[in-house]
Structure 1
Amino acid sequence: MARSTLAVILAAGEGTRMKSSLPKVLHAVAGRCMLAHVLASVREAGIDDAAVVVGPGREDVAKVAQKAFPGCTVFTQAERKGTGHAVLAARQALLGGKDVIVLYADTPLVRAQSIETLKAALEDGAHVAVLGFHAANPSGYGRLIVEDGALTRIVEEKDATPDQKAIGFCNGGLMALRGETSLALLDAIGNANAKGEYYLTDAAEIAHQRGLKAVARPIAEEEVHGVNDRVQLAQAEAMMQARLRAAAMKDGVTLIAPETVFFSYDTVIGNDVLVEPNCWFGPGVKIESGAVIHAFSHLEGARVAGGASVGPFARLRPGADLGRDVKVGNFVEIKAAQVEQGAKISHLSYIGDARVGAEANIGAGTITCNYDGYLKHKTDIGAGAFIGSNSALVAPVKVGDNANVGAGSVITRNVTEDALAVARGRQVEIAGWAKRYRQVKKAEKATKAKG
């Protein structure tokens, strides 16, 4: 039978090296905060019970945790006395006797499969299981001491002998504790060390000394990359982006210059999509099969149907919904607007809070005037309508199917189906005016030069 598991996520660190008013674990990687990344992996690993340990007064962290993992329990570590002490801050949750997996909210790259590896180790009879990685340069990491397949202890580098320092198998930080003995091991951790702190890593040695099975399982070093400052945050972002790009390309997406394309954690892209260089995808973007995203485009909270073309230099803001075969060209911005099949907005336009009907054509320089300083209003452009260049549609307003709007018009009233609307001053021509004007101005200039 599968064992019940509790995930304990440690999120109480102050993160002083981030030099930020925002708590460290709320800094984002690929559009989602680090704490939410870890909780998502916990959920994906099939764990439905989580306890999050936060620092004093960190209601903001607690709120994010509860949104990311509804039903999780939040505990406060009133004093920071080490990782072992932090886990015991969730003692009330530990009393249920479930297996415990301890994770860190500042390691956003951990995969669900690695959490499942820890679960499996406990199911195989281990009382303590840790994840370790083989480091090319182990300097600074704790070493995992494994003898005859058993993990006997975890030694911090400052306490390691020369022979132990030569070990390349390093502590990844994540640990699992068997439910029946978890509290007994945690309570046995002492603080007889230079810092007077309770280190979770001591649980491995205590288990071994008590004749309990402790094991170490391998993990990729990338997955346990911790973030303590902005440099490490940027490194985590780079690793996450490499992961997302590789996944997209394996799923049939063409990235001409992958290193210049940035995805969010939830970007969905169908096969046979072409993404040109220097594009950015914020949260909530879905691109359907066969679309093209041209260079230097910025998308967030948008849907692009198959056959559509976006950019170059286009911006799709939240609520942009492009139908099949739509064309959105250079320097076009779309927000909270439905653009139906085959419509064209080729360049230099803003379409916000609107519907653009199928096969409609929006001329260069057209804008929907959707905001009156207090409220947003909707513009409805019918199927097959033609909006001439440099027109302003003052919402709320409706342009009927197959209607035309003359270039340079300011439309403030509804336009009926199949009609032509022209709203601009009548052109007036005064013969010879320009010549007389030049003569007068030249004379004025000459007079000033003599004076």
Structure 2
Amino acid sequence: MTDFSACALVLAAGKGTRMYSDKPKVLRTLLGEPMLHYVYSALDTVFEDKIYTVVGFGAEHVEAAFPDYKSGFVLQKEQLGTGHALQTAWSSVQESGCEYCFIINGDTPLVNKVTVLDFLDAAVKDKTDLSFLTITPDEENQFGRVIRDKDLKVKAIVEAKDYDESVYGPPSGEVNAGIYCLKVSAIDGLLSRLNNENKSGEYYITDLVDLAVESEMNVTAVNCGNSIDLMGINTPYELSKAESALRFKIVDDLLRQGVVVHNCECAAVGPKAEIAPGAEITGPCEIFGKSVISSGCLVESNVFMRDAFIAEGAVIHSFSHIEKSEVGVGCSVGPYGRLRPGAVLEEGSKVGNFVEVKKSRLGKGVKASHLTYLGDSEIGAGTNVGAGTITCNYDGKNKFKTIIGENVFIGSNTAIVAPVEVGAGALIGAGSTITKKIGENELAVARGKQVNIRRHTEKS
């Protein structure tokens, strides 16, 4: 990177009416993460702590989603256009003491660090006062049209609503990507000259191009062709297309690193997830958040994970759901297993068909194979939990804990009413409702005595 100082300004104040959502557009997600996350990821290592974000609609939600950037948020109380957003944040830009200001829309999630660095380096090397990136997409949509003279020098950017072919001629197909590099000292005197004399009644950053050209400044535009990486997102359709492109890139990288991905066209892996070479996953599946899948793991189809840790050699069978949980070495989950936040499975334990575990630790080799709910529990190594067992942890007001020792055998259809302790080596008879402590190596049977009564029928 050329030796110069630069800050970044992210424009994230708009509502995004064409997204048909009550949440800020930049919080709409791709592969489980807000689109603004991807923009920050491209900027973090380049600009470090000199990243400023203009927020407006739903500002409190954007700030809450990204607390690490709190000191860099600038509130645009009225959303009067991109030019007004720049004016609102300009004092922060000046106070940064940086020579250059890089500007990007918060709805450009496919942008990458290399593009940012190359653009900055080129702008500084060419000693530009104002530089911006352009693209030539298949459809021009609502992008601003780039106007060049016969020598291909930039003259202006005209917003789509204001473009008049009788004045500017047929569109060239080159449009503004909404990414700029401004020399702070040069642009300082132009900001006050922006006006809102256009069909939208807004102040546009794009008008700075015309003003800079009039002032005989060095203005350049870098055409990046039909680059999907620079496309902004304005509609659900565009969001879906961008997510597909991102999904393909992430899965392709995993394949090249040595991860086996069956039915890879249907595997969705988030940008924060880590899957080690030697792991094997099968689509359709969704692996989001800070999930970690270790080498030697097998993840079958139709599995959903978020913030899960899966240790070496574990097997996650089909249709399982794992969230904020840990699965130890050689464990087995599912099919149709559900691990809710706080579930921890130690080495070799098994959670089988239609078993739900929440905020519980299963010791080494514990087996809960069928139709069971284990909540707020500690279960010792070697314990076998019979089908239909329930730890009754909630009394309508409070949650209570169940503690079960090692090598306990729990018969089918048992209800353990917390708080209660079961000693090591104990045996609980099937169909029992346990409400009192069971000592070590004791047999507990808590059920009504069977009574057989002759039925009365028409024949009797």
Q: Which letter maps to 1:85?
A: H
Structure 2 CA distance for aligned equivalents of residues 424 and 4 of structure 1: 76
In the TM superposition, residue 337 of structure 1 has moved relative to its aligned partner by: 1.6
Q: Which residue of 1 aligns with 2:436?
A: 413
Q: Which letter maps to 1:75?
A: L
Q: Which residue of 2 aligns with 1:300?
A: 323
Q: Which residue of 1 aligns with 2:189?
A: 184
> What is the number of residues matched between the two proteins?
433
Whether 1:224 and 2:230 are equivalent positions in the alignment is yes
Structure 1 CA distance for aligned equivalents of residues 327 and 82 of structure 2: 46
In the TM superposition, residue 368 of structure 1 has moved relative to its aligned partner by: 1.3
Relative to 1, partners in 2 of residues 1:23 and 1:385: Cα closer, same or farther, differing over 3 Å? same
Contact kept? 2:177, 2:232, Cα under 8 Å? no
Per-residue Cα deviation, 1:194-232 (whole angstroms, up to 9, x for no partner): 334322223345445523252426387433343334343
Q: Which residue of 2 aligns with 1:393?
A: 416
Relative to 1, partners in 2 of residues 1:411 and 1:271: Cα closer, same or farther, differing over 3 Å? same
Whether 1:256 and 2:262 are equivalent positions in the alignment is yes
Summarize the alignment of residues 39-438 of structure 1 with structure 2, pairs less than 5 Å apart: 39-55=40-56, 58-61=58-61, 63-64=63-64, 67-78=67-78, 80-96=79-95, 97-98=97-98, 99-124=100-125, 125-138=127-140, 140-144=142-146, 153-156=156-159, 159=163, 165-167=171-173, 169-209=174-214, 210-216=216-222, 218=224, 221-258=227-264, 259=266, 260-282=284-306, 284-428=307-451, 430=452, 433-434=453-454, 437=455
Q: Give the stretch that moved more between structures: 61-70 or 368-377.
A: 61-70
The SS at the match of 1:334 is strand
Contact kept? 2:15, 2:23, Cα under 8 Å? no
In the TM superposition, residue 6 of structure 1 has moved relative to its aligned partner by: 2.4
Q: Which letter maps to 1:24?
A: K
The SS at the match of 1:348 is strand
Contact kept? 1:294, 1:309, Cα under 8 Å? yes
In the TM superposition, residue 409 of structure 1 has moved relative to its aligned partner by: 1.8
Q: Which residue of 2 aligns with 1:448?
A: none
In the TM superposition, residue 90 of structure 1 has moved relative to its aligned partner by: 0.9
The SS at the match of 1:91 is helix
Q: Give the stretch that moved more between structures: 328-337 or 378-387.
A: 378-387
In the TM superposition, residue 176 of structure 1 has moved relative to its aligned partner by: 2.2
Per-residue Cα deviation, 1:82-132 (whole angstroms, up to 9, x for no partner): 211211111220222422222223333333333333433344344333333
Structure 2 CA distance for aligned equivalents of residues 49 and 181 of structure 1: 20
Contact kept? 1:39, 1:68, Cα under 8 Å? no
Relative to 1, partners in 2 of residues 1:81 and 1:321: Cα closer, same or farther, differing over 3 Å? same
In the TM superposition, residue 403 of structure 1 has moved relative to its aligned partner by: 2.6
What TM-score do you get using the length of structure 2 for normalisation?
0.82
Q: Which residue of 1 aligns with 2:276?
A: none
Structure 1 CA distance for aligned equivalents of residues 124 and 411 of structure 2: 69
Structure 2 CA distance for aligned equivalents of residues 307 and 355 of structure 1: 20
Contact kept? 2:137, 2:226, Cα under 8 Å? no
Structure 1 CA distance for aligned equivalents of residues 63 and 226 of structure 2: 31
Structure 1 CA distance for aligned equivalents of residues 312 and 152 of structure 2: 49
Structure 2 CA distance for aligned equivalents of residues 394 and 244 of structure 1: 46
Structure 1 CA distance for aligned equivalents of residues 296 and 169 of structure 2: 53
The SS at the match of 1:71 is helix
Contact kept? 2:386, 2:411, Cα under 8 Å? yes
Per-residue Cα deviation, 1:262-306 (whole angstroms, up to 9, x for no partner): 232433323333222222223x22223332222112222122233
Relative to 1, partners in 2 of residues 1:245 and 1:219: Cα closer, same or farther, differing over 3 Å? farther
Relative to 1, partners in 2 of residues 1:316 and 1:142: Cα closer, same or farther, differing over 3 Å? same
Relative to 1, partners in 2 of residues 1:383 and 1:123: Cα closer, same or farther, differing over 3 Å? farther
Contact kept? 2:55, 2:62, Cα under 8 Å? yes
Q: Give the stretch that moved more between structures: 403-412 or 204-213.
A: 204-213
CA RMSD of aligned residues (A): 3.1
Relative to 1, partners in 2 of residues 1:353 and 1:9: Cα closer, same or farther, differing over 3 Å? same
- Structure 2: gaps spanning 5 or more residues: 267-283
Contact kept? 1:52, 1:65, Cα under 8 Å? no
- What percent identity do the matched residue pairs reach? 37
Q: Which residue of 2 aligns with 1:449?
A: none
Structure 1 CA distance for aligned equivalents of residues 164 and 431 of structure 2: 77
- Structure 1: gaps spanning 5 or more residues: 445-451
Per-residue Cα deviation, 1:221-268 (whole angstroms, up to 9, x for no partner): 433343334343444443443344334444444333331222324333
Structure 2 CA distance for aligned equivalents of residues 239 and 384 of structure 1: 50
Relative to 1, partners in 2 of residues 1:65 and 1:230: Cα closer, same or farther, differing over 3 Å? same
